[in-house]
Amino acid sequence: MLSPLAQARTAPVQAGAAATPKLLVDGLTKRYGAITALEPTRLEVPAGEFLTLLGPSGSGKTTLLQMICGLVEPSGGRILIDGQDETRTPVHKRDIGLVFQHYALFPHLTVAENIGFPLRMRGVAPADLTRRVKEALEMVHLGHLAGRFPKELSGGQQQRVALARCFVYQPSVILMDEPLGALDKKLREHMQYEIKRLHRETGATIIYVTHDQEEALAMSDRICLMNHARIEQLGTPHDIYARPKTAFAADFIGVSNIFRGQVRRDGSGAPMLVTGNGSFRLSADTPDSQDGTLVVRPEQLDIDGEGDNEVRGEVVDTVYAGSETRVLVSLGGEETITVRLRRGTAPPRLGEVVAVRWRADAGVLVS
């Protein structure tokens, strides 16, 4: 059952009518003199989606977010919210909520007063304001702290107040700029769950900026991976992890083993990748190309197991991480691959020479 906030966002769609994107970025670009901070970009975000802008520093993700909310003026292109052109609309008149890394709570206001502030600024009637603040407090499980001041709260509690203050006035789009960056790992993981829960219960459209790949994989409906001021790949977390389209995407998302070489056909016509570490069989549907980069994830590799392809190397390290053990195998020189052991498998000894194998269809050939 939808919460009152989610019901307020839900609108009927006429049968046969194409749904208008909640947010449409059409050819948006930003230049600072000779420097391009964002190449012309098109991005559609449907209502209710949790989209993460992910990428390294300088990739353009924060520039894109700031143009959407109106803090930075575009050099070109349009921003449409529910089909309405908001490109030149002042930031305070856009129907957008903002949550930043620093909570920006008013220290002289109580938790309830902080949450109710955007409603008072919009002239909401006192009775309705009180009801909506109460709903927001219950949503973030802080009803018992309504009368406290920010200095009396933990970091996680303050972040929940900031989230409630944003959700309470039901903006069309909620933008979050690395909101968990200041929290420790355990609290950050807890707040990831809280934000996902709020998204699920309210049906809000959220655009979330982070440079943390694990955070993006855990929280997103889709990930917009950015690099060099443009979109590198757009897709679900599974698609980007299991089917990266470029070597950058493969290397940035998760741990990857990368082999570079030339694609050839063997005597039977089967595709092969010829590398300095040997020739490896590729998936039968591999398209013809000249140069190729093969990506194999650590969990697809098997030490002394079965497989179509094999490399041999020396075990130089093992990393125990609780739920998994990773084995680093040197192939000579500076080239090292990572193998993720299956649960219950004993790791090999340091210095041991092992055969690492994988199936031909376990690798992905990228550009």
The CATH code of the domain that includes 313 is 2.40.50.140
* Cα separation, 282 vs 270, whole angstroms: 8
Q: What is the mean pLDDT of the chain?
A: 89
pLDDT at position 331 is: 93
Are 261 and 352 in the same domain? yes
Nearest to 175 by CA among 62, 88, 90: 62
194 in a structural domain: yes
Please report which confidence band the pLDDT of residue 345 belongs to, taking 50, 70 and 90 as the band edges: confident
pLDDT at position 70 is: 92
- The total of other beta-carbon atoms located within 10 Å of residue 231's CB is 20
Instruction: Report the predicted TM-score, pTM, of the whole model to 2 decimal places.
Output: 0.85
Are 177 and 230 in the same domain? yes
Distances (CA, A) of 74 to 28, 39, 42, 176, 210: 7, 11, 13, 19, 21
Please name the residues in contact with 168: beta carbons below 8 A apart, sequence gap of 6 or more. 115, 116, 118, 119, 132, 133, 135, 136
302 in a structural domain: yes
Inter-residue contact 333 to 252 (CB < 8 Å): no
Please name the residues in contact with 165: beta carbons below 8 A apart, sequence gap of 6 or more. 105, 114, 115, 117, 118, 136
Q: Number of folded domains in the chain?
A: 2
Are 204 and 270 in the same domain? no
Please name the residues in contact with 163: beta carbons below 8 A apart, sequence gap of 6 or more. 99, 140, 179, 194, 195, 198
108 in a structural domain: no
- The total of other beta-carbon atoms located within 10 Å of residue 360's CB is 17
Are 83 and 36 in the same domain? yes
Tens digit of each residue's pLDDT (9 = 90 or more) over 107-149: 999 999 999 999 998 999 999 999 999 999 988 889 999 999 9
* Cα separation, 42 vs 230, whole angstroms: 10
Query: Where is the domain boundary, 186, 219, 242?
Result: 242
**pLDDT > 70 in the chain, percent:** 95
Are 291 and 344 in the same domain? yes
Tens digit of each residue's pLDDT (9 = 90 or more) over 249-298: 999 998 899 999 999 888 888 889 999 888 999 988 777 777 889 999 99
Strand partners, 24: 44, 80
Tens digit of each residue's pLDDT (9 = 90 or more) over 11-48: 444 444 457 899 999 999 999 999 999 999 999 999 99
pLDDT at 228 over 90: yes
* Cα separation, 285 vs 307, whole angstroms: 18
- Find the domain containing 305 and state its range: 255-366
pLDDT at position 181 is: 78
pLDDT at position 326 is: 94
pLDDT at position 323 is: 79
149 in a structural domain: no
200's tokens:
């699920």
